[in-house]
Amino acid sequence: MKLNRRQFTLGSTSLLLSGLLPLTVKSSTIDNKKNLVVIMLRGAMDGLTAVPYIHDNTLEKVRPDIFVKKLFKLNSDFSLHPKLSGFHNLWKKDQATIIHATNIPYTGRSHFDGQNLMESGGVIPYKTKTGWLGKGIDVAGLDGLSMSLPMPLLLRGKRNQDNFYPSKFSMPSRNLIDILKNHYADEPLLKKSFDKLTSRPLSMTSAPNSKNIKTLARIAGTELKKEYGPRVAVFEIFGFDTHAAQGGADGEHGQKLKILDETFGVLKKQLGKTFDNTLILTLTEFGRTIVQNSGYGTEHGYGTAVLLGGGLLKKSQVFTDWPGIKKKELFEGRDLNSTLDARSIYCSAMSTCFNTDFKLMNKHVFPDKTLINLSNKIFKS
C-alpha cells in the first residue's frame, strides 16, 4: 500500500479502503465481486455548477459572474462542467449517470450536521453513531478496513472496523505486546483496537509515502481489482465550500471538480475490466444557493446532484424529477429543491454492489423504511 498521510491531514483528499477478509466471504460473492467506490465531496458541492440547467437562461441571469459558458452538452436541459471531461468520456460510453435535484432529507444548512447525516444516513444530527456504509457492510456480512488515521463515521458499523495508514513506525517486543494485551482487558474499546492491531497481516507494516490523488486512486484501483481484495473504497475531497471566488471554469469549484474528475479517470484506467463491475458514487451534504453572492461565491443550499460512474450503470442519463429553478420553484425561495431522498440512491447502490436485498438493506441501515428502490432504473440487473 502506498498511501500518503499528508493527503489526509492537509485535508485536500484522502483515501479509505474497506476490505474483505477472504474467510468471511462466500465463494459465490467472489465469483460476482462488485466494487463500490464512494467519494465524499465535503463543503457542499454545487450541483448546478457541476451539471448546470441550460433549458433557459435563468441560471446565467442569477449567476452573471460565475456561470460557466463552455460546457459539455448532455441533453437539451443539462450540461456538464468543462473540468469534468473524463466523466464526459464515461458519459459517451454509457458509464455515467447524474441524479439531479436530490439530497439527504436535511434542510438545516450546517456543514457539520449535514455531513454527519450524509455519513450516518440518519435524520437527526449526531443521534446515530454509525455510518450507512459501515452498517451496510455489517448487513452483507463483510469485514471492513479503513485506510485512514481517524475512522470516518461513514464506515463505522456495529463491529469495530480495522484501520490502517502507512507509516515508518514499528511495534515493540512480543513480550510487551502480550503484557499490554492482558493489561487492556478491562478497557473494552482499548482492548478491541489493540486486538485488531496485533492481529494485522504482515503486509501492513511500513510503506513509503506518496503524495497525490492519482497515486491514491491507482492504489485503490489495484486493490479493488484483486479477487480477494477490498470491495469498498472511500475518498474524500474537501473544499467545496466556496463562499467566495467559486468560479468560472477555472474557479475554486472547478478546481475541485477537476480533482473529482481525475479520481474517476485514474480509477477507470487502473481498474481495467473490473470497471465493468464497479460503481462510483459521490456524496455531499447539500447544494448551494441559486444566486451568486457578492464575493462571487454561493451560500449553503439544499438540493444538489449525485454523480455516478462505472460499468454497473444501466446507461448514461440525467435521472431527475426536475423541480425548476424559477424563484417560486425554489426551496425557501433560494435553493434548488430536492425531489428524491439521496438515501434511496445509497441504499440501491449497496443493494446492487453487495448483492443484498434492497428491503433488507433499507430495514437495517436507514431509519426511514420508505426509500425507493432505484436499482432497476439506474443499475444493470
Among 81, 83, 88, 109, binds other proteins (CB under 8 A): 109
For other proteins, the binding residue among 4, 35, 97, 163 (CB under 8 A) is 163
Number of residues that bind other proteins (CB under 8 A): 58
Kindly state whether residue 200 participates in binding other proteins, applying the rule CB under 8 A: yes
The residue among 300, 362, 361, 366 whose CA lies nearest residue 113 is 300
Stretch 261-300 residues interacting with other proteins (CB under 8 A): 291-295, 297, 299-300
* Contact between residue 67 and residue 61 where contact means Cβ atoms under 8 Å apart: no
User: 312 to 351, contacts with other proteins by CB under 8 A?
Assistant: 332
Per-residue binding letters, 125-144, with other proteins (x by CB under 8 A):
x---x---------------
Q: What sign results for the dihedral spanned by CA atoms 333, 335, 340, 342?
A: negative
Given a contact cutoff of 8 angstroms between Cβ atoms, the answer to whether 18 and 152 are in contact is: no
d(CA 182, CA 185): 5
Which residues within the stretch 236-265 sit at the binding site for other proteins (CB under 8 A)?
238, 241, 243-244
Q: 357: helix, coil or strand? A: coil
Q: Contact with other proteins (CB under 8 A): which of 194, 322, 323, 367? A: 194
Provide the β-strand partners of residue 212: none
Q: What is the DSSP letter of 151?
A: P
* Cis peptide leading into residue 248 (ω within 30°): yes
Q: Which of 10, 21, 30, 360 binds other proteins (CB under 8 A)?
A: 10
Is 165 a binding residue for other proteins by CB under 8 A? The answer is: yes
**Of these, 29, 58, 110, 209, which contacts other proteins (CB under 8 A)?**
110
Figure out which of the listed residues 24, 61, 75, 171 binds other proteins, where binding follows CB under 8 A: 171
Distance CA 72, CA 52 (A): 10
Q: Say what the alpha-carbon torsion angle 130, 134, 135, 140 is, to the nearest 10 degrees.
A: -170
Give the DSSP per-residue string, 279-341: EEEEEES--BBSS--TTS---B-S-EEEEEESTTBSS-EEE------SGGGSBTTTB----EE
Give the residue with the Cβ less far from other proteins, 123 or 197. 197
- Binding residue for other proteins, selected from 69, 73, 183, 377, defined by CB under 8 A: 183
Give the chain's end-to-end CA distance (angstroms, integer): 33
Binding segment for other proteins (CB under 8 A), chosen from 70-78, 164-172, 279-287, 316-324, is 164-172
* The only residue of 123, 197, 207, 372 in contact with other proteins, by rule CB under 8 A: 197
Candidate list 105, 141, 150, 272; residue touching other proteins; CB under 8 A = 150
Least CB distance to other proteins at residue 220 (A): 17
Taking the least distance from each CB to other proteins, the nearer of 112 and 228 is 112
Tell me the backbone φ, ψ of residue 260, rounded to 5 degrees.
-60, -45
Give min distance, CB of 353 to other proteins, in A. 25
What is the CA angle 195-190-125, rounded to 5? 115
The torsion angle over the Cα atoms of residues 275, 20, 146 and 205, rounded to 10 degrees, is: -110
148 near other proteins, judged by CB under 8 A: yes
Among 30, 149, 226, 376, contact with other proteins (rule: CB under 8 A): 149
User: What does the alpha-carbon distance between residue 315 and residue 265 come to, in Å, rounded to a whole number?
Assistant: 18
Q: Are strands 79-80 and 72-73 parallel, antiparallel or unpaired?
A: antiparallel
Minimum distance from residue 10 beta carbon to other proteins (Å): 7
CB of 12 to other proteins, least distance (A): 10
Q: Is 173 in the site for other proteins (CB under 8 A)?
A: yes
User: In degrees rounded to 5, what are phi and psi of residue 365?
Assistant: -105, -40
If one counts every other C-beta atom within 10 angstroms of the C-beta of residue 64, the result is 9
Does residue number 5 form part of the binding site for other proteins (CB under 8 A)? yes
Min dist. Cβ of residue 212 to other proteins (A): 15
Smallest gap from Cβ 299 to other proteins, in A, equals 6
Judged by the rule CB under 8 A, the positions of this chain that interact with other proteins are: 5-6, 9-11, 108-113, 115, 125, 129, 146, 148-151, 162-165, 167-173, 175-176, 179-180, 183-184, 186-187, 189-190, 193-194, 196-197, 200, 238, 241, 243-244, 291-295, 297, 299-300, 332
